[in-house]
Structure 1
Amino acid sequence: MKYLYLLLVVFISTKTFAQMPMGAGGGSSAIIGKISGTVIDSITNKPVDYATIALSKSQQTKSTNGSLADDKGAFKIEKIIPGKYRITVSFIGYQTKIIDPVTTTNSKPDINLGTIKLSPNAKLLNEVVVEGQTSIVENKIDKLVYNAEKDVAIAGGNATDVLRKVPLLSVDYDGNVSLRGSSNIRVLINGKPSGTMAGNIADALKAIPADQIKNVEVITSPSAKYDAEGTSGIINIITKKNNLEGMSGSVNAGVGIRQNSGNLNLNLKKSRLTVTANGGGYYSWPQTSILDFNRINNNGDFNLQNGRSTTERLATNGSIGADYDFNKYNSVSSTLKLNWFQFGVDGFNDNKNSFGGVQQAFTRVTNNKNRVTGYDWNNDYTHKFKKEGQEISLAWQLTQSNLVNDYDSYFSTVARQEIGTSDAINKESTFQLDYTHPFKKIVWETGVKAILRDITNDSGVDSADLSGGNRIPVDGRNFIYDYNQDVLSAYTTFGFTLAKKYGVKVGGRYEFTDINGFATGTAAFTPFTNDYGNFVPSFVVSRTFKNFQTVKFSYNKRLQRPSVFFLNPFLNSADFYNQSQGNPLLGPELADNFEINYSTFVKTTIINASIYYRATKDIIESIITNRSVDGKNISFTTYDNVGRNNSVGFNFFGSVNPTKKLTLRGNFNIYTYDINLSAASANISAIEDKVYLMYNGFLSATYTMPKGLTFETFLITNSPRRTFQGRNPSFNMWNLGLKKELFNKKGSIGLNVIDPFNNRKNFESEIRNPAFIQSNNFSIPFRSVGVNFSWRFGSLKVNQNPKKGVKNDDLKQGDGGGQAGGGMGN
């Protein structure tokens, strides 16, 4: 309760301070309005979708605000202070139209320009290329944004398929995501943490249909207002939401030889109330994998396995939310998200081993079931002051997820069965208070946050004698483990410009972490407590040049706390000779990140290049060692803080339109792995002490054809990933997609093909230890063909009541706002 009292005191004091300027002169602040309208073709009278609308002061050409028209040609520019303005409307192949002056007043702050007609003009094509279209990849002041809804070749898939195409990211064959070579990332949904990500992120991403994703934000150098979690950065997945007035919805479905999906979205907006709902599901056909495993100890003992397993995945999810504006200054938002995800692995292994000269051969049959269920309930309140840009917001989130892992194993040589179960419950309560105050040339942001996290894991293992039917609990492996983690934080940032061309944003965040853990039912775990505080500064300075060139330098400190996936002390011995267990004593990683970034936009070409350095101490990696069980040295996997990694990297992203119809994109990232091991880790590593070079990248091409046809192809390649004990598999993939628009762009049908010439792929890994060498080859079916369909329905119009509601996140996206950029160099 002391944390709640602390938050209450800070809220009251901040609220009081926030209102002080209003007493002095707040009454003279201008009313904020908007300018709206609809753009159509002067000949066909059809909407000009995605036309560019630029706003500037009357009799001036320098744009200060703007908007894009939607697929109905409708647009709106919000946060307009009463005055005289110049409106410039343009689009590819049309003559630019200027409306000057457009006057708004305190008594009439909202202006509807009605229908604006653009006249076709072929002579202007070379001058206005790509002005009216949203690029698939956008380089913003504080982040890189991948607009998934504009991509042809992801429909019918899941979030993993989307992330594979995002610059700076790489995704391996099993769905594990890394950012510039580091898997220590923070994944958010609509700017908020989700309980579904508390366990295995790779599995959680497979449960999110691609058709629900609007865009993905990649933030490599977050400012102090973001949580310090994630040493390499933040990935923010934004789901689709319709802000137009009326009733609308969409249906998306995909059927393929590997996976199937379906999703329904409904949106209702009437005046100041918005209600949204969606539901969907995902199912992958059972796929059979082939495993070859070899482990040879230095003393001559060995364990050889080969077998097959069948994996089947099924997921459903849904949400319902509502936003309401009480008036121009006060609004609330509430969203409830539900999720359910399950996958099962059934198979067998033929084992041949030798321990102490005694050879044995047997077959092991295993059934493994994993299930994740949970919910996220988010509530936000925002109060905006009459002074533009000044606001205070309060957010509360309640999340819970249940992670269940059950298995049973049968052994052919003995009439014995082992039955194991692990039921982990993760509960989180989050409270956050944020305040923003603009001064004359400085924007000040401050806030506090509390995350109260409780994890309970009920584990049990029984051994059953099939001949007699007796089921006996295994001593020391039936227990309840409780893990509590509370994180209290406070931040402040200042953003300002110098000499018009320099932008600066500096800030600091302090996070205090309090941890305790204990177990009942066993003496195998000693209760422990731990607490630590971390100050995480952030700094970014940007310099703009002519021709849209920008150079930025940024620094920040980040930390990575281990999740329940790494902490869970449940011993999984479904395979007696390959056991795994989490480490509840893991400490956090700490990383210092430096980055220099250059970006430019020249006609139809976008270039973004970065040089970065990341120094991470107490890096968390898996550890594979020998473990003596029943006199046999078996393979045992756990996790530990193995040492310090210093990584230097270079990233390049480019996009170019050689012709109006063709877009080429490419991303390449090369970085080093240079580990300095702790004394304990050095004793179990047999790899050479040298710097390893790794890379990942992709190439893609999109070609638009007549009659609403679009073709896209892309190629992904990742090098093998190094660890302090060896290497994990490389990964590559080739994808082709074709989409045909239907029903006046309200619907579409598409065809996706993945790796047409590779029915299966092999993934090889190798681990070296002074006591053994372990190699593994995993083969899975890969070639895939799928058909997807989408349809949008409903009658929409531009809402005439300006919405002031809550930003649907607790991290306040878009740090620019005319001031210094947020913390990212991309």
Structure 2
Amino acid sequence: MICFVPDFTVEHKKIKNMKKLSYIFALILMSSAIVNAQFGPPPGGGGGDGNGRNRQNNQPSTPSFESNAPKGNSKITGYVVDSALTGAVEFANISLINKTTNKPIDGTIADEKGKFSMSKIAVGEYKLLITFIGYDNKVFDNIKIEKGKDIELGVIKLSPSSKMLEGVTVSGEKSMIEEKVDRLVYNAEKDLSSRGGDAADVLKKVPMLSVDLDGNVSLRGTTNIKVLINNKPSTIVASSIADALKMIPADLIQKVEVITSPSAKYDAEGAAGIINILTKKSTIEGFSLNIDSGLGLRGSNLGLNGSYRSGKLGVTLGGFGRAFYNKAFTTLDQSTLQNNNTVLTKQTADAQDNGLFGRYNLGFDYEISKKQSLAASINFGTRNFNRGQDYTTNLFVNEKLSSTSFRNVDSKDNSNSIDVNLDYVRTFKPQQEWSISTMYSQNNLTNNFDADLLNNAKTLVSRQRNLNGNVNKEFTLQTDYVTPIKTNQMFEVGLKSIFRKVDSDYQYLFAGSTGAFASDAKNPAGLLNYTQNISSGYVSYTYSTKNKYTFKVGTRYEYTTIEANDQKGNIAIPSYGNLVPSVNISKSLGGNSTLKLAYNNRISRPGLQQLNPNFNAANPQNITIGNPSLKPEITNNVELSLSTNINKTYLNMSIFGRQTNNSILRISSPSDTLAGAIVTTFQNVGKQQTFGTNIFGNVFLTSKWSLNGGIDLMYNYLDGQVVDATGKYATINNSGWTLGGRIMTQVQLPNGWGIQGFGGYRGNQVQLQGMQGGAGMYSLGLKKDLPNKKGSIGLAGENFFGGMSMTSTLNSAQFNQVSVNNIYNQNIKLTLNLKIGNMKFVEQKKTKGVKNDDVKGGGEATN
């Protein structure tokens, strides 16, 4: 019989309800046989992490072992690892045996890092049995518990078994996709084809997410989301999500969490939810150095990540850099009605993109005592993105050629950011802790361009320059307290303050074909000083019942004050308060299925790209300008989902609805002064409704071959007010269906070889005045592990048959626009990963961190 276990994160308690499934049934039989053979019947239950929590949904669970054994106040902890130190032995079984009766009285299962903990152990003498399929059993014969004293067993090495049960082969493989009570987890470290890329390349493959050609991310059809990095915000994300993703190498990402129904503990920002990108962290003691590199036709990368840990102190130092080159070709066809004339614009542009992105970090953690820890980190990011575009523009007035112009534009999108964190955690007992977290973040952002205007003879006529500097600062202070109530309840409470300040200065300069630049009288200089302070508090309560219901309810109150001024004086933006409730209900069904119902209320405050009043006219036929008077959006979300395991297949099916009032929408209209030009800004003029379904699954075709994918189907309805041809406001609406999906397959080949393929399509996105086109993408990766898994080499390619293309349309009574963006995003790359160092596994120190979830993403971003 062949037995394959696709995901050992399945709870032991749930496994007992799945005996009809052969591969799980075999696991139970073998585990039972091992324990029975030496100590009698195994202890029952045991789906927790040793601290009274359910691993899969992170909720309080009922005790796994119900016996009449006396209870005490001692604890046993340890770490189970492979004897070759190649990794933790995830979900090893630990049984505590009464030495007198030789019967089990308690037990648990190790977590993903190999850690286990058993508490409330009475004084006495015991045996401890550690088992896992494919390893020899480990027995501690003399465990002596004294009153009030804990036992720390440290690192426990299991040796691979020299003999297997006859006819039985078991393989353990963490699933690419995991589901928890309030989030979906994508294990990006298993993604072969994204090596050498950036975070956007990873997010393209995450269920429920869509990434367009410019790197803008949407969740269930909206870009109104919040992106966190290691549970923490960064001002680089507040400025531009797309640009921030380019600064994070794919090789650095361990997993991506998609949180569609955030609890009250999270800030109320992000209509659709939160995306949390978790990077690889050190869980080793000693010295280690990891080298990640890639060399490709379109992009190359180099990363060094070193760590040193000894005793109570751990230090990490890392740096990752990525350089890329890409070409693009765009076309623009738009017709406008201006001064009773029909002006037709036909424009083409060749583009060359060059980028250099880096992210560097220094961090330490220190264990003050057994129950107190301190952690700090400094992260520095840099972005240097240059785009050269050569425009050819033909203007036709009433169907007659009026002019031809040539414009060469060099745009510079440069920034540097710094994030500093200091966190303190005080643990009183398992699950009961108090924390204080602080963060300072600053991003200095420059968006400049230089333009040369040429005549028909391609001779330089004049020059134009736009200088646009921005500084975005944040300081955050928060405190959280969490405590269990009995064994099946949890209470959380916290306070938080965020202090934000955005300063933007911009000006246009003009010069002839020679000579110095001077102020452009047609485009006066401007500024924006924007201060936003947010005070908030939350309470959250979780309750689990014996019949497998879990209720998580909470509420959060946020009060926001804003002060803003531009060159004309103060901008009146009133303060506002919001009460934000959230409800999450889950029910564990028979056959390893879970049904979940969730409701939450969300706030979306405008981000820097929506606020900045700089008149961006790099392309004078297609201009964007921000609006500093924007107010926040308020969104109501409801979701119903069902997840289940059927034999070797994991399925998740969900339906959801979302309504946003006071929606921030992009509004376009013809320019009053530039012939044939369209000006786009942002207004609180709309209502947005979205209804849809997500279906995705993960199936193991064989023990070495997996297949996963999903389909997203949504219906969007938008209505809002725009200015009509008479200059008055008129209500318009637009609606339509959006269809997208993705599919990925992985095959493990002999001798350390592996192959992965991916294909995905992002469907059309409905806008108030038109439609943003969809795009397809695909990739293929091949990897070979080096001896002793000290690294790997690989080859990957993406979009190698012609690149990608996206067509978008805008329509109104005054204009029509069709734009086509062709990005030759073709790449073939070699990847190399090396691991150097003398290391052993230790407990990863618990840290808290700031999570600012409250700035609306979106807006234009360059690739």
Distance in 1 (alpha carbons) for counterparts of 2:438 and 2:493? 17
Mapping of residues 590-669 of structure 1, within 5 Å: 590-629=634-673, 632=675, 634-669=677-712
Mapping of residues 149-228 of structure 1, within 5 Å: 149-228=189-268
Distance in 1 (alpha carbons) for counterparts of 2:705 and 2:167? 15
SS, match of residue 574 in structure 1: coil
The match for 1:551 among 590, 595, 605 is 595
Mapping of residues 514-593 of structure 1, within 5 Å: 514-520=561-567, 523=568, 527-593=571-637
Distance in 2 (alpha carbons) for counterparts of 1:686 and 1:529? 25
Distance 1:37 1:769, change over 3 A: closer
**Equivalent residue for 2:366?**
324
Distance 1:408 1:684, change over 3 A: farther
Mapping of residues 325-724 of structure 1, within 5 Å: 325-355=367-397, 359-385=402-428, 387-413=429-455, 415-440=461-486, 441-466=488-513, 469=516, 471-474=518-521, 477-520=524-567, 523=568, 527-629=571-673, 632=675, 634-678=677-721, 689=733, 691-724=735-768
**Equivalent residue for 2:772?**
728
Does residue 36 (structure 1) correspond to residue 82 (structure 2)? The answer is no
Q: Which amino acid aligns with 2:216?
A: N
**Cα deviation 1:650-692 (Å, max 9, x = unaligned):** 1112111121110010121111111132476999999995641
Q: Which amino acid aligns with 1:465?
A: G
Aligned length: 764
Does residue 775 (structure 1) correspond to residue 821 (structure 2)? The answer is no
**Equivalent residue for 2:27?**
none
**Equivalent residue for 1:798?**
841
**Cα deviation 1:340-382 (Å, max 9, x = unaligned):** 0011111211111135778111211111111011100011011
CA drift of 1:807 comes to: 3.6
Report if aligned partners of 2:364, 2:376 keep a CA contact under 8 Å in 1: yes
**Cα deviation 1:292-332 (Å, max 9, x = unaligned):** 11111244211211121211111111000010011011111
Report if aligned partners of 2:439, 2:476 keep a CA contact under 8 Å in 1: yes
Q: Which amino acid aligns with 1:320?
A: L
Distance in 1 (alpha carbons) for counterparts of 2:729 and 2:706? 46
The match for 1:66 among 96, 102, 110 is 110
Distance in 2 (alpha carbons) for counterparts of 1:303 and 1:168? 37
SS, match of residue 499 in structure 2: strand
Distance in 2 (alpha carbons) for counterparts of 1:170 and 1:510? 31
- Please report the TM-score for the alignment, with normalisation by the length of structure 2: 0.84
Q: Which amino acid aligns with 2:344?
A: F
Structure 1 gaps, min length 5: 1-27, 70-74, 813-826
Q: Which amino acid aligns with 1:76?
A: K
Report if aligned partners of 1:458, 1:480 keep a CA contact under 8 Å in 2: yes
Q: Which amino acid aligns with 1:53?
A: A
Distance 1:500 1:111, change over 3 A: farther
Report if aligned partners of 2:90, 2:110 keep a CA contact under 8 Å in 1: no
Distance in 1 (alpha carbons) for counterparts of 2:731 and 2:766? 10
Report if aligned partners of 1:754, 1:784 keep a CA contact under 8 Å in 2: yes
CA drift of 1:394 comes to: 0.5
Distance in 1 (alpha carbons) for counterparts of 2:476 and 2:90? 41
Distance 1:348 1:46, change over 3 A: closer
Distance 1:796 1:46, change over 3 A: closer
CA drift of 1:720 comes to: 1.3
Distance 1:111 1:627, change over 3 A: same
Q: Which amino acid aligns with 1:289?
A: A
Distance in 2 (alpha carbons) for counterparts of 1:606 and 1:236? 22
Report if aligned partners of 1:624, 1:636 keep a CA contact under 8 Å in 2: yes
CA drift of 1:582 comes to: 0.5
The more displaced of 289-298 and 564-573 is: 289-298
CA drift of 1:722 comes to: 1.3
Distance in 2 (alpha carbons) for counterparts of 1:330 and 1:748? 38
Distance 1:687 1:586, change over 3 A: closer
CA drift of 1:541 comes to: 1.1
CA drift of 1:81 comes to: 4.5
Q: Which amino acid aligns with 1:669?
A: D
**Equivalent residue for 1:822?**
none
The match for 1:136 among 176, 193, 196 is 176
Distance 1:527 1:655, change over 3 A: same
The more displaced of 685-694 and 654-663 is: 685-694
Report if aligned partners of 2:107, 2:118 keep a CA contact under 8 Å in 1: no
Report if aligned partners of 1:547, 1:600 keep a CA contact under 8 Å in 2: yes
Q: Which amino acid aligns with 1:200?
A: S
Report if aligned partners of 1:664, 1:702 keep a CA contact under 8 Å in 2: yes
Distance 1:743 1:208, change over 3 A: same
Structure 2 gaps, min length 5: 1-70, 98-102, 854-863
Distance 1:103 1:252, change over 3 A: farther
CA drift of 1:113 comes to: 7.5
Report if aligned partners of 1:517, 1:527 keep a CA contact under 8 Å in 2: yes
Distance in 2 (alpha carbons) for counterparts of 1:108 and 1:590? 50
Does residue 76 (structure 1) correspond to residue 118 (structure 2)? The answer is no
Distance in 2 (alpha carbons) for counterparts of 1:30 and 1:680? 71
Report if aligned partners of 2:224, 2:272 keep a CA contact under 8 Å in 1: yes
Distance 1:635 1:55, change over 3 A: same
SS, match of residue 30 in structure 1: strand
**Equivalent residue for 1:14?**
none
Report if aligned partners of 2:696, 2:710 keep a CA contact under 8 Å in 1: yes
Distance in 2 (alpha carbons) for counterparts of 1:340 and 1:190? 18
Distance in 2 (alpha carbons) for counterparts of 1:606 and 1:637? 44
Root mean square deviation, CA, Å: 2.8
Distance in 2 (alpha carbons) for counterparts of 1:29 and 1:556? 41
Report if aligned partners of 2:510, 2:518 keep a CA contact under 8 Å in 1: yes
Distance 1:271 1:593, change over 3 A: same
Report if aligned partners of 1:332, 1:805 keep a CA contact under 8 Å in 2: no
CA drift of 1:464 comes to: 1.4
**Equivalent residue for 1:297?**
336
Does residue 763 (structure 1) correspond to residue 811 (structure 2)? The answer is no
The match for 2:295 among 236, 239, 255 is 255
**Cα deviation 1:393-427 (Å, max 9, x = unaligned):** 11110000011011122222383221111000001
SS, match of residue 211 in structure 1: helix
Distance in 1 (alpha carbons) for counterparts of 2:386 and 2:112? 46
Q: Which amino acid aligns with 1:290?
A: F
Distance 1:226 1:114, change over 3 A: closer
The match for 1:53 among 74, 85, 92 is 92
Distance in 1 (alpha carbons) for counterparts of 2:739 and 2:828? 28
CA drift of 1:226 comes to: 0.4
